Amino acid sequence: MASSTSLPQNRRTTRQVAGTNQNHRMERHALQQEIWHLRDLLSTERANCCREHNWKIQLSHELDETKQQLANQKWLKEVRNDIKRKKKKDLQQDYEELQVAFTVCQERLNSELQEKDKIKVLQEDLKLSCDSLQLRSKWSRRKTMFSRKNWRNSELHTKKSVRGMRLMSSQQADSLHSELQRQIKSVKDRTSCWCKT
């Protein structure tokens, strides 16, 4: 009897063992699925952490670049303001120098115009003197042609008067000519000095 009762116990144990094995397999399968699921979650979480870390690094770089750009813009603005201030001072100084130069040039131009007017008047006087001399010589020639009786006297007289007038006119013309040459040279010297400055 003892053997008959022990046999079913053995059978029960085998069944129990088979059931237990099946339970173990199911539990193992469930555990493996849970492990795979946890591995997927871990992989996803790692990817998210990596993305977040990279995003933080990128944001940090962008923030540094923005700070650098702001510093550069501030520096450029200060440089531009300095340049504007310097330009304003330089422009003011240039303007004042140009005003002085313009006044000097205007005065020189006025004096040159006055000199030119004087030269023109002197040239007109010289021309009038030459014309007067020519008229006198023509008149004296005609006069000598009409006075045949006193040919020699009038010829001598005319020659003397013509010589005197020529001498006088020549001296006047020479003095006028030398005066004109002197004034023309003076104007040229002033013009060349003005051009050099």
Residue 122, pLDDT above cutoff 90: no
81-90, 137-146, 165-174, 176-185 — most confident range:
81-90
Mean pLDDT computed over 109-117 = 89
What is the pLDDT at residue 46? 92
What is the pLDDT at residue 147? 57
* More reliable by pLDDT, 135 or 5: 135
* Average pLDDT of the chain to the nearest whole number: 78
Residue 109, pLDDT above cutoff 70: yes
* More reliable by pLDDT, 144 or 2: 144
What is the pLDDT at residue 54? 93
Distances (CA, A) of 92 to 16, 88, 109, 160, 172: 111, 6, 25, 72, 55
- In this prediction the pTM is 0.30
Residue 168, pLDDT above cutoff 80: no
* More reliable by pLDDT, 134 or 74: 74
Per domain, the residue ranges of the chain are: 2-196
